A and B are shown apart, each in its own frame.
Chain A
């Protein structure tokens, strides 16, 4: 079992504010780091897959960075909107299997 940790477990953000949270993972035998957005009763939605140290990916107001040497990734949400409320999961893979963190649940208050 690979230890993937996400912090914080939950956070509340005022609409319009920016926020970020972390995912830490084993730095050895790295293959890829995935970020998913998961809303209740829906499928987890793939946000990013990052494979190279120093990778930065962006999708609208959401972006992510990757440091494979120290084993962490940040997810940033700029100008949070109520529709950003969801649980954000990161997952580490060193082959075809994904090991997930417990998620960061973001609640955006209007």
Chain B
């Protein structure tokens, strides 16, 4: 299975600023996903990062707030823009390992606290 390096592992940020989270995969993957887990809540899909095109966002998430880049098949970034305390969450990237299969691998997460 793939190995994902996610950075940073944690950060404390001031409200109104932005943070960019990076995920590097050790192999080429087609499908890459970004999730958020707010305190006490489920892991929720933010968007699917598409190589060479705009990300596909889930209901309740918008590009202006969570811009995503996917310049190639091994790398993606998620930016949390104009942060507020409600953005304090764990952010995870994930990849699907095989087309039509069932295997997903996750990064180790970014624990974000907005003060």
Contact = CB atoms under 8 A, between A and B. Distances in A.
Given A41-B109, A43-B109, A96 B102 contact: no
Interface stretch (B41-49, B69-77, B80-88): B41-49
A101 B108 contact: no
A43 B105 CA distance: 8
Contact of B106 (A41, A44, A51, A99): A44
Interface string A20-51: 00000000000010101000011110100101
A63 to B, nearest CB: 18
Interface SS of chain B: helix, strand, loop or mixed?
strand
B52 interface: no
Question: How many of chain A's residues touch chain B, expressed as a range?
Answer: 20 to 34
B102 A43 contact: no
Nearest to B56: A97
B45 A4 contact: no
A89 B43 contact: yes
Contacts of B41: 102
Q: Which of A42, A43, A91 has the most CB of B within 10 A?
A: A43
Contacts of A110: none
B100 to A, nearest CB: 9
B45 A51 contact: no
